Amino acid sequence: MSTEFHNLQELRHSVSVATKVFIQRDYSQGTTCRFQTKFPSELDSRIERTLLEDTVKTLNSYYAEAEKMGGQSYMEGCLACATAYLIFLCMETRYEKMLKKISGYIQEQNEKIYAPRGLLLTDPIERGMRVIEVSVFEDRGSSGSSHSSSVSSGGISQR
Amino acid sequence: MPGSSKSGGAGGLPSPPHTASPSRPLRPSRYVPVSAATAFLVGSTTLFFCFTCPWLSEQFSVVVPIYNGVTFLFVLANFCMATFMDPGIFPRADEDEDKEDDFRAPLYKTVEIRGIQVRMKWCSTCRFYRPPRCSHCSVCDNCVEDFDHHCPWVNNCIGRRNYRHFFLFLLSLTVHIMGVFGFGLLYVLYHTQQLDTVHSAVTMAVMCVAGLFFIPVAGLTGFHMVLVARGRTTNEQVTGKFRGGVNPFTNGCWKNVSHVLCSSQAPRSLSLFVLSLSVSLSPSLPPSLSLSLSLYLTQSKSSLEMMESQSCDAEPPPPPKPELRYPGLSRGHQEQHTEESSLLSKAPPTPTMYKYRPTYSSPGKNHTALTHAYANQMSRGDSLKESSSLLQSSQQPGFRSEPSLDGREAPGERGGGGLGGGGDRPGGGGSVGGAPGSGGGGIPGYSLGGRSYPSFSDPTVLSSGGGASRSSSVRSGSAHNAAHISEATTSTSYKSLANQTPPPRNGSLSYDSLLTPSESPDFESAAPDMSPGRHRTPAPPPVLGYSSPYLSAQLSQQRDAELHQPSASSVALLSSPHRAHYLRVTSSSSPPPPPERERLLQESHSHSHHSQPPPSSAAPQPPHPHHHHSSHSSRPPRFSRPPLLSDSAAPHHYPYRTRSTDTPLAPSTHPPRSPHPPPLGKSLSYSSAAAAEMQYRMVRKASASAGGGGGGGGGIQAPKDEIQMKLLSRTNGQPRSSLSSSGSTPSSPSHPISMSTRPGQAYPSPGNTQSPAHKLGGGVKKVTGVGGTTYEISV
Contacts with A93 from chain B: Cβ below 8 Å: 264-265
The answer to whether residues B512 and B137 touch, using CB atoms and an 8 Å cutoff, is no
pLDDT value, residue B225: 94
The answer to whether residues B87 and B162 touch, using CB atoms and an 8 Å cutoff, is yes
Contacts with B146 from chain A: Cβ below 8 Å: 31
CA distance A16 to chain B (A): 9
Quick one: CA dihedral B408, B412, B415, B419, positive or negative? negative
Reply yes or no on whether the pLDDT at B34 is more than 80. Answer: yes
Interface membership of B370 toward A (CB under 8 Å): no
- Alpha-carbon distance of B720 to B80, in angstroms, equals 50
pLDDT value, residue A104: 93
pLDDT value, residue B4: 40
pLDDT tens for residues B287-342?
A: 444 444 444 444 444 444 444 444 444 444 444 444 444 444 444 344 444 444 44
pLDDT value, residue B780: 58
When pLDDT is cut at 50, 70 and 90, the band that residue B693 belongs to is low
pLDDT value, residue B773: 39
Return the amino acid letter for B585: V
Q: What is the mean pLDDT of residues B502-510?
A: 44
Least confident of A28-37, A44-53, B205-214, B299-308: B299-308
Interface membership of B145 toward A (CB under 8 Å): yes
Task: Report the residue of A85, A101, A103 to disrupt the B interface, i.e. the one with the largest count of B CBs within 10 Å.
Answer: A85
> Hey, are the CB atoms on A77 and B96 less than 8 Å from each other?
no
The answer to whether residues B766 and B531 touch, using CB atoms and an 8 Å cutoff, is no
- Alpha-carbon distance of B10 to B26, in angstroms, equals 17
pLDDT tens for residues B374-415?
A: 444 444 444 444 444 444 444 444 434 444 444 343 433 333
Reply yes or no on whether the pLDDT at A67 is more than 70. Answer: yes
Q: What is the mean pLDDT of residues B461-486?
A: 41
pLDDT tens for residues B240-295?
A: 877 777 888 888 889 899 888 888 888 888 666 654 444 444 444 444 444 444 44
Q: What is the mean pLDDT of residues B21-30?
A: 66
Residue A100 DSSP SS3: helix
Highest mean pLDDT among B191-205, B635-649, B680-694, B732-746 belongs to B191-205
DSSP per residue, B557-598:
HHHHHHHTS--SHHHHHHSTT----S----TT--STHHHHHH
- Alpha-carbon distance of B659 to B738, in angstroms, equals 13
Of B258, B295, B299, the CB nearest to A126: B299
Contacts with A73 from chain B: Cβ below 8 Å: 262-264
> Hey, are the CB atoms on B114 and A29 less than 8 Å from each other?
yes
Side-chain half-sphere of B235: how many Cα atoms within 13 Å? 30
Which comes out higher in pLDDT, residue B624 or B497?
B497
pLDDT value, residue B222: 95
Reply yes or no on whether the pLDDT at A82 is more than 80. Answer: yes
Side-chain half-sphere of B244: how many Cα atoms within 13 Å? 24
When pLDDT is cut at 50, 70 and 90, the band that residue A30 belongs to is confident
pLDDT value, residue A88: 87
CA distance A105 to chain B (A): 16
Task: Report the residue of B263, B291, B310 to disrupt the A interface, i.e. the one with the largest count of A CBs within 10 Å.
Answer: B263
> Hey, are the CB atoms on A30 and B97 less than 8 Å from each other?
no
The answer to whether residues B339 and B501 touch, using CB atoms and an 8 Å cutoff, is yes
Interface membership of B284 toward A (CB under 8 Å): yes
Interface membership of B189 toward A (CB under 8 Å): no
**Burial letters B389-421, b for 16+ CB under 10 A, else e:** bbbbbbbbbbbbbbbbbbbbbbbbbbbbbbbbb
The answer to whether residues B728 and B110 touch, using CB atoms and an 8 Å cutoff, is yes
Radius of gyration, CA atoms only, chain B: 26
Contacts with B310 from chain A: Cβ below 8 Å: none
pLDDT value, residue B576: 41
Q: Which residue of A has its CA nearest to B88?
A: A128
Contacts with A129 from chain B: Cβ below 8 Å: 267, 269
Contacts with B277 from chain A: Cβ below 8 Å: none
Q: Kindly give, in sequence order, each residue whose CB lies less than 8 Å from that of residue B583, ignoring residues fewer than 6 positions away.
A: B244, B245, B246, B545, B547, B550, B551, B552, B555, B589, B593
pLDDT value, residue B572: 40
Q: Which residue of B has its CA nearest to A40?
A: B486
> Hey, are the CB atoms on B269 and A127 less than 8 Å from each other?
yes
Catalytic residues of B: 151
Reply yes or no on whether the pLDDT at B455 is more than 90. Answer: no
Mean confidence (pLDDT) of chain B: 57
pLDDT value, residue B413: 39
Reply yes or no on whether the pLDDT at B235 is more than 70. Answer: yes
Phi, psi of A88 (to 5 degrees): -70, -20
Q: Which residue of A has its CA nearest to B299?
A: A122
Q: Which residue of A has its CA nearest to B73?
A: A84
The DSSP letter of residue A25 is: B
> Hey, are the CB atoms on B90 and A81 less than 8 Å from each other?
no
The Cα-based distances of B703 to B531, B588, B775 in angstroms read 25, 31, 11
Which comes out higher in pLDDT, residue A10 or B183?
B183
Which comes out higher in pLDDT, residue B96 or B570?
B96
pLDDT tens for residues B164-212?
A: 999 999 999 999 999 999 999 999 999 888 888 888 999 999 999 999 9
Of B91, B264, B267, the CB nearest to A76: B264
Q: Kindly give, in sequence order, each residue whose CB lies less than 8 Å from that of residue B746, ignoring residues fewer than 6 positions away.
A: B645, B646
Find residue B89's DSSP bridge partners.
B144
Reply yes or no on whether the pLDDT at B126 is more than 70. Answer: yes
Reply yes or no on whether the pLDDT at B543 is more than 50. Answer: no
**What are the helix (H) ranges across B422-548?**
426-434, 459-475, 495-498, 512-515, 519-524, 531-534
pLDDT value, residue B119: 85
Interface membership of B676 toward A (CB under 8 Å): no
- Alpha-carbon distance of B123 to B317, in angstroms, equals 11
- Alpha-carbon distance of B572 to B735, in angstroms, equals 14
Return the amino acid letter for B52: T
> Hey, are the CB atoms on B90 and A128 less than 8 Å from each other?
yes
Work out the burial of residue B252: count CB atoms within 10 Å of its CB; fewer than 13 is exposed, 13-18 middle, 19 or more buried: exposed
pLDDT value, residue B788: 54
Q: What's the length of chain B? A: 795
Which comes out higher in pLDDT, residue B42 or B347?
B42
Contacts with B269 from chain A: Cβ below 8 Å: 125-129
pLDDT value, residue B206: 93
- Alpha-carbon distance of B522 to B694, in angstroms, equals 12
pLDDT value, residue A106: 92
pLDDT value, residue A118: 86
pLDDT value, residue A70: 82
- Alpha-carbon distance of A103 to B673, in angstroms, equals 60
> Hey, are the CB atoms on B267 and A96 less than 8 Å from each other?
yes
Closest to B673 (Cα-Cα) out of B542, B543, B540, B573: B540
Report which secondary-structure segment, H or E, holds B705. Answer: none
- Alpha-carbon distance of B71 to B77, in angstroms, equals 10
Binding-face residues of B in 71-110 toward A, CB within 8 A:
73-74, 76-77, 80-81, 89-91, 93-94, 96-97, 99
Report which secondary-structure segment, H or E, holds B135. Answer: strand B135-137
| Model confidence, pTM | 0.52
Contacts A–B by Cβ distance under 8 A: 126
Which comes out higher in pLDDT, residue B5 or B29?
B29
pLDDT value, residue B224: 94
Interface membership of B132 toward A (CB under 8 Å): yes
Contacts with A66 from chain B: Cβ below 8 Å: 264
